[in-house]
């Protein structure tokens, strides 16, 4: 007898996953939870002041005193990783949320009204599509100054067309289905149809796109910081740390770049694994 039967078939998909011993899902979930916790509580847990120079010897390898070693200025890498977590994790979250909300709105308006509304909105998003996100971000930084806000907003705009294209195609096909005609004949209002019927139907696609978007946003933001246009030294940010660790890397001390890089990879990987699973449930709930 399976656990599902014991629970009378009423168990959440998460519990079922765990019950089915999906090791990848469990691992990704644990890693993600740890990273989020680290991003939220990180600043409170730092063993040293993350910006305090020469708390130890320069470029010391991991030791009991400095778990991740120290960087080229003798700062504690662990403290800097913890302090930089928030910006590194929540920056991409903001990008994904903004681009998804805006992109879906544009897409649904486009699909709903069709005609010239659709034509205008689609052309505009196509123009934005033609500009690479990184270029847009660099442009924004040069206009609004360095820091995290400008690149986050720029990337949100840059990712918008990707979301809106996908959602528009899905919305058009969904709106063409008989149940949408049935809802209109019943006199159900446009907003109710959009929020109660259309969006839930598009959710699997939107979710899948968001997790992929998160990965790209994290890497793009790290790249912007890496280029010195995002978070500014001495602020600790995983991208900045990877970037400023470059010379040390060549001197045979990889820790400064390695640990933040590892965290970026782990975060992106876990988000994608979780996203794929959640999308699969949403799809199955649909079938």
Partner 1 sequence: MTDPVLEFAHVSITAPGADGPRTLVHDCTLQVAPGEVLGLVGESGSGKTMSVRAVAGLLPDGFTVEGAIRIDGQDISELPAKRLRDIRARRLGMVFQTPRAHLNPLRTIGDFMTEALVTVAGESADAAARRAMELLAEVGIPDPERRMRQRPGDLSGGLLQRVMIAATLAMDPPILLADEITTALDVTTQEEVMAVLADLRRTRQLAVLFITHDLALAAAVCDRVAVMQDGRIVETLSASTMRADAREPYTQRLLSAVLPADLLSGQTAAEPILVVDGLQKTFHVRSARGGRREVFVAVDDVGFALAPGGSLGIVGESGSGKSTTARIICGLESADAGTVSVKGEDWTTPARSARGRRQRARIAQMVFQDPYLSLDRRQTVRQCLTEAVAVHRRSASRAELRARVDELLASVRLDPTLADRRPRSLSGGQRQRVAIARALAADPEILVLDEAVSALDVTTQVEILTLLDAIRRDTGVALLMISHDLAAVRRLCDQVVVMRSGRIVEHGPIADVLDDPQAEYTRLLLDSIPREGWVPRRRIPARVSVPDDSTGAASGSSTSAPITALEGDR
- Are the C-beta atoms of 110 and 164 separated by less than 8 Å? yes
Does 186 bind partner 1 (CB under 8 A)? Our answer is: yes
The answer to whether the beta carbons of residues 56 and 44 sit under 8 Å apart is no
Find the shortest distance in angstroms from Cβ 182 to partner 1: 5
Contact 218, 260 (CB under 8 A): no
Using rule CB under 8 A, residue 177 touches partner 1: yes
Q: Angle 225-73-39 (CA atoms, 0-180°, nearest 5)?
A: 50
Question: Taking the complex as a whole, how short is the minimal distance between the CB of residue 6 and partner 1, in angstroms?
Answer: 12
Those residues whose C-beta lies under 8 Å from the C-beta of residue 29, and which sit 6 or more positions away, are: 270, 274
Is the N-terminal amide bond of 93 cis, ω within 30° of 0?
no
Q: For partner 1, which is the closer residue by CB, 72 or 283? A: 283
User: Stretches 3-11, 35-43, 76-84, 121-129: which one binds partner 1 (CB under 8 A)?
Assistant: 3-11
Does the footprint of partner 1 cover residue 188 (CB under 8 A)? Answer: yes
Q: Does 8 bind partner 1 (CB under 8 A)?
A: no
What are 135's two structure tokens? 């270029």
What x-and-dash track marks residues 202-241 binding partner 1 by CB under 8 A?
----------------------------------------
Residues 54, 113, 179, 195: which binds partner 1 (CB under 8 A)? 179
* Six token digits for residue 31: 């890693």
Size of the site for partner 1 (CB under 8 A): 24
Task: Report in angstroms how near the CB of residue 189 gets to partner 1 at its nearest.
Answer: 5
What tokens appear for 71 in the block?
């960087």
């Amino acid at each position: 007898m399976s656990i599902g039967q014991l629970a009378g078939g009423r168990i959440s998909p998460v519990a079922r996953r765990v019950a089915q011993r999906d090791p990848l899902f469990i691992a990704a979930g644990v890693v993600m939870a740890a990273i989020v916790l680290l991003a939220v509580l990180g600043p409170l847990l730092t063993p040293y002041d993350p910006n305090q120079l020469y708390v130890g010897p320069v470029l010391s390898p991991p030791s009991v005193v400095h778990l991740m070693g120290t960087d080229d200025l003798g700062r504690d890498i662990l403290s800097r990783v913890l302090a930089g977590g928030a910006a590194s994790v929540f920056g991409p979250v903001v990008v994904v949320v903004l681009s998804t909300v805006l992109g879906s709105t544009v897409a649904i308006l486009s699909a709903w009204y069709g005609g010239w509304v659709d034509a205008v909105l689609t052309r505009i998003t196509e123009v934005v599509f033609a500009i690479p996100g990184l270029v847009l971000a660099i442009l924004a930084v040069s206009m609004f100054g360095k820091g995290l806000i400008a690149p986050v907003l720029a990337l949100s705009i840059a990712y918008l067309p990707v979301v809106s294209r996908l959602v528009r195609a899905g919305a058009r096909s969904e709106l063409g289905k008989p149940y949408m005609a049935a809802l209109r004949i019943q006199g159900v209002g446009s907003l109710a149809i959009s929020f109660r019927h259309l969006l839930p139907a598009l959710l699997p696609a939107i979710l899948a796109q968001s997790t992929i978007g998160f990965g790209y946003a994290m890497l793009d933001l790290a790249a912007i910081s890496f280029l010195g246009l995002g978070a500014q030294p001495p602020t600790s940010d995983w991208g900045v740390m990877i970037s400023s660790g470059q010379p040390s890397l060549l001197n045979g001390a990889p820790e400064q770049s390695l640990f933040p890089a590892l965290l970026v990879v782990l975060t992106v990987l876990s988000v994608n694994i979780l996203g794929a699973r959640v999308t699969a449930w949403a799809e199955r709930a649909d079938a």
